[in-house]
Amino acid sequence: MSKASEWLGVAVLNHFFRGITVAPPARFIGLFLSDPTNANVGLEIQGGSYVRQAITFAEPVVVNGVSSIRNSIEIRFPTATSDWGTVTHIGIFTATTGGNLLTHAAITPREFKLGDEAVFSPNSVTISLD
């Protein structure tokens, strides 16, 4: 289950309840060694050829009252040129560096060493609202 960031919560409330326009942001997925939390204070991978990757989503669906959206294409990070550590969380951001955190989620922990690749197949990253 994904969690909305503080930034996204404020943007949604301002847009839908105050009429303040929010431009659709770019979307990039990042890998974390700790929970980024709603305040975006987690430890993101640094170095070793790591860079956030663009993520594209398919049309939302509603099942049993839960709206969700999934990545529509494969996401492939560059091959690690050093040990990255154990990835425990992902975050979706508005930029390749810096930017605003939109949402985050825990994933099955996986250690990435020199030569490893992080790959997310289509439909493997889900963001849901209920």
Supply φ then ψ for residue 15, to 5 degrees.
-70, -55
114 in helix, strand or coil?
coil
Query: Which residues, other chains included, contact 121 with Cβ-Cβ below 8 Å and sequence gap of 6+?
Result: 74
Q: Which residues pair with 101 in a beta bridge?
A: 93
**Structure confidence by residue, pLDDT tens digits, 82-125:** 999 999 999 999 999 999 999 999 999 999 999 999 999 999 99
Residue 75 CB neighbours (<10 A): 20
pLDDT at 1 over 60: no
Q: How far, in Å, CA of 99 to CA of 111, rounded? A: 26
